[in-house]
């Protein structure tokens, strides 16, 4: 479904990705683990079109999408949920969800989907008219995920959904990710919390300073001594 081959990305003089290749099949949860600065967010931003690759290509459903503007990639059903809960702080919860459905012109469908989101994330219904910026961290994470789901994406790129959340909430967020996956959305999950990521993923890749150093089934990686030492706290 998603195929990344030999991807290079530069930030000015910094060579952030040095030939990354991996793939994701329909229905999978693939985790990308790695420490700070390994290039995980850069990779997601390049797939979603926010950054441009200097070399290599990204193809999605047998179509090359690298080089296309972000809004075109979104319209193909690839939703990037950025790191740090990038909600629109001065819009209400409802308006934020409407922004998520920006590409849908059918108002009835938007209303239907919004109702479905309120079912799935009941806390958002209670906060309906509140400005996004006034929500708590966990609520904001729910809102970004709900906003991303408004278009019913085929592929979801999730960047650090557990960042800055209390352990209880982390579990909840990961439950929701699994649920979304069961309903047919493929997921590329970037996480520093390797334990959680590997526990729900089918396969995983380890990214280190811009290169993929390890890959395999999530369960195998969990037992790999290198992974245990570097990412699972030995």
Partner 1 sequence: MIATKKENFLLKLRGSGTIIRYILGILAGGYLLWRLYRVFIVQSAFGLETWTRLLIAGLVIGSVYALIAIGYTLVYGVLFMINFAHGEVMMLGSFAGFFVLEATRAMEVNGPGGVATSFSNAYPGLAILLAFVAGMSFSALVGFYLEKIAYRPLRKAPRLIPLISAIGASFALQNAALLLFSPQTRTYQNPDILTRGQGWRLMINDSAVILPYTGVFTMVLSIILMVGLILLVKRTRLGKSMRAVAMDKDTAALMGIDVNKTISNTFIISGILAGSAGVMWGLHNGLLHYFVGFLPGIKAFTAAVLGGIGNIPGAMLGGMVLGLLEALGPAALDISFQLKDVIAFVIMIVILIFKPSGLLGEVLSEEKV
Residues that bind partner 1 (CB under 8 A): 48-50, 69-71, 74-75, 79-80, 82, 86, 88-91, 95, 98-100, 102-103, 147, 151
State the nearest-atom distance from the C-beta of 208 to partner 1, in Å: 26
Nearer to partner 1, 90 or 128 (CB): 90
Sheet with 55-60: strands ordered across: 14-24, 2-11, 55-60, 63-64
Smallest separation (angstroms) from partner 1 to the CB of 154: 14
Nearer CB in complex with partner 1: 150/221: 150
Nearest approach in angstroms of CB 59 to partner 1 is 20
CB of 132 to partner 1, least distance (A): 9
> Which sign does the torsion angle of CA 117, 120, 125, 127 carry?
negative
What is the number of alpha carbons within 13 Å of residue 91 lying toward its C-beta? 15
Nearer to partner 1, 59 or 92 (CB): 92
Q: Give the max Cα distance, the chain.
A: 52
Between 187 and 198, whose beta carbon lies closer to partner 1?
A: 187
């Amino acid at each position: 479904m998603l195929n990344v081959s030999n991807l290079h990305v530069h930030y000015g003089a910094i060579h952030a990705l040095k030939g990354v290749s991996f793939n994701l099949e329909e229905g999978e949860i693939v985790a990308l683990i790695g420490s700070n600065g390994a290039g995980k967010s850069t990779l997601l931003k390049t797939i979603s079109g926010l950054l441009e690759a200097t070399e290599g290509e990204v193809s999605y459903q047998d179509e090359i999408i690298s080089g296309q503007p972000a809004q075109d990639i979104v319209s193909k059903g690839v939703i990037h949920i950025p790191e740090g809960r990038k909600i629109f702080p001065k819009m209400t919860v409802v308006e934020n969800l409407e922004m998520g459905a920006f590409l849908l012109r059918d108002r009835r469908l938007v209303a239907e989907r919004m109702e479905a989101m309120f079912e799935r994330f009941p806390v958002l219904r209670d906060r309906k008219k509140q400005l996004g910026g006034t929500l708590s961290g966990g609520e904001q994470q729910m809102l970004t995920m709900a906003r991303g789901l408004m278009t019913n994406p085929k592929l979801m790129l999730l960047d650090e959904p557990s960042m800055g959340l209390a352990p209880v909430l982390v579990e909840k967020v990961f439950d929701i990710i699994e649920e979304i996956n069961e309903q047919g959305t493929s997921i590329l999950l970037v996480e520093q919390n390797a334990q959680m990521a590997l526990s729900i993923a089918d396969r995983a890749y380890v990214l280190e300073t811009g290169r993929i150093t390890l890959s395999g089934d999530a369960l195998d990686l969990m037992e790999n001594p290198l992974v245990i030492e570097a990412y699972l706290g030995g």
